[in-house]
Chain A
Amino acid sequence: MARKNQQNPEIKKAMRKNSTKDFLSMAGIFLAFLILWEAAVRIFAVPRYILPAPTVAVKAFFEYWTAMVPHMLSTLYVIAIGFGLTVIISIPAATLVAYSKTFERLIYPFLVLLQLIPKVAIAPLFIIWFGFGTMPKVMLVFLLSFFPLFIDATAGFKSLNPRLIYVAKTMSHSEWKFFWKIRFPSALPQIFTGLKSSIAFATVGAIVAEFVGSDTGLGYLLMRANGDLNTPFLFALLILLCVIGIILYKMIEVFETMAIPWHASKRKDFLEL
């Protein structure tokens, strides 16, 4: 699906200039916010266990870096497995719902009901069922990230232009070809929307599971920093979580741009300049 880029170099240049401008103004606003924060903490002499200055937080980040790395890897591992399960299970499940009315009538209401349960509240139950290992954490990540993708993928499969079914019929198609060449690609934009909300929920799931019962992971460190009233460490962890969140999201966006360059949201048309 790779697409040759035959865009006018001048347009490309103008686009690059534009996105650099966007980035610079964003960074400017962020910097102003940090300066304001720093100034406020110093002027009002806020104790660091309540709110550390950004410089203190950043210093803590580097100070605790080596201590955080193994826990970060543990959290990432949980996210990877839980989110992987989500991708493997919810897309086929969405396909089933889109294809089979019976499946939709029987399973869909049940799944939506399950969605209404505050799943975070189930976390302690998971500890009872699955013990203190990786399992309860993976399950919570899966449970939290499953629905956004499932709902969006189902909507994607169902929003197929029904007239395309006629087109395929006049081509004496097989259902298999129809799925891979028409139904699946036309659902991809919504699948990616789902993946992007799912990955955010996956991170939440991992952290919450580590809050509840774990001796590893960034969530566990957050609880410990909290107990010690070590607020600079808490902020160091928050910085790390932000960075992880951004990187995971960006990774999906990169896949998205590779998979659906044709979609309106990914097009770089002249008019968008």
Chain B
Amino acid sequence: MLRFDNVGMEYRTFSGSTKALENINLDVKSGEFVSILGPSGCGKSTLLFIGTGLTKASFGQVLFHDQPLTDTVNNVGFVFQDHLLLEWRNAINNVMMQCEFRDLDKTKYLEKAKKLMATVGLTGFEDKYPHELSGGMQQRVSICRALVHGPELLMMDEPFGALDALTREQIRMDLERIWMEEKNTVLFVTHDINEAILLSDRVVVMTPRPGTIREIIDIDLPRPRKLSTTETPEFYHYHKHITQLFTEMGLLRDE
């Protein structure tokens, strides 16, 4: 559905040009959950922006349903690293902002918005303003905003990066549950190995800058994945394999 064909990215600065991405070839299938896992600064966010059409690639091309991407993908939901909620709107109206901008039927989607908020444990917080919510709740609202219109493509740029470990676990499980119902195609950027394995059908391991694909790993674990999934030998196997890749790339040292 979303195909990266030899995509590369180069930034021109005063001190010359920097390559951020090189030779990215990736074919994301419909309904697939794909994680992009890599160290910070390897261009994985850039890849997400290119795939959405927010940024133009310097080389290669992106095909969305076999059509070259020229503008921002229409049927997309994007969760950014920071929640980027509007501080003058309460939680439910921040979610509904998506529908207002798209001229969708208000009453119909209000139901959906409330249901989504309930799924992520935000019942009773619909009237609260962003500054009255905790960081975890703000990001949950932001996730609901990206999902409310049922986008075909869901892009998530380290959405749990700013959250504490406990909240991350919970939101991760919430997200998997929603995705299993909605069946969106998801591209999920992270630097957390556990998160990548637990959420994905495939994990794309990136090298440091300039970011290239080191390996694409199929994750064959039954869903829904539970807390106890981390204790299975299969999980251990994937984790060990990815850790080894990072060690080989010099990103981890085992001393």
Contact = CB atoms under 8 A, between A and B. Distances in A.
Contacts of B131: 262, 264, 267
Contact of A170 (B52, B87, B100): B52
Given A1-B88, A171-B101, A163 B82 contact: yes
Contact of B98 (A171, A182, A188, A263): A171
A260 interface: yes
B54 A181 contact: no
Interface residues of A, number: 27
A182 B86 contact: yes
B127 interface: yes
B76 interface: yes
A168 interface: yes
B170 interface: no
A131 B220 CA distance: 87
Nearest to A269: B131
Nearest to B89: A262
Interface string A172-210: 111001000110011010000000000000000000000
A105 interface: no
A129 interface: no
Size class of the contact patch on chain B: 20 to 34
A166 B52 CA distance: 10
A166 B88 contact: no
Contacts of A161: 84
Contacts of A263: 87-88
B72 interface: yes
B179 interface: no
A164 interface: yes
Q: Which of A170, A188, A263 has the most CB of B within 10 A?
A: A170
B101 A177 contact: yes
B101 A163 contact: no
A171 B78 CA distance: 9
B123 interface: no
Interface of A: 1, 3-4, 6, 161, 163-164, 166-174, 177, 181-182, 185-186, 188, 260, 262-264, 267
Given A169-B72, A170-B155, A177-B101, 20 more contacts: A1-B88, A3-B90, A3-B129, A161-B84, A163-B84, A166-B54, A170-B52, A170-B72, A171-B97, A171-B98, A174-B101, A181-B97, A181-B100, A185-B86, A185-B88, A260-B88, A262-B87, A263-B88, A264-B131, A267-B131
Which 10 interchain pairs have the tightest Cβ spacing? A171-B101, A170-B78, A262-B88, A173-B101, A169-B72, A185-B88, A172-B74, A167-B84, A262-B87, A170-B76
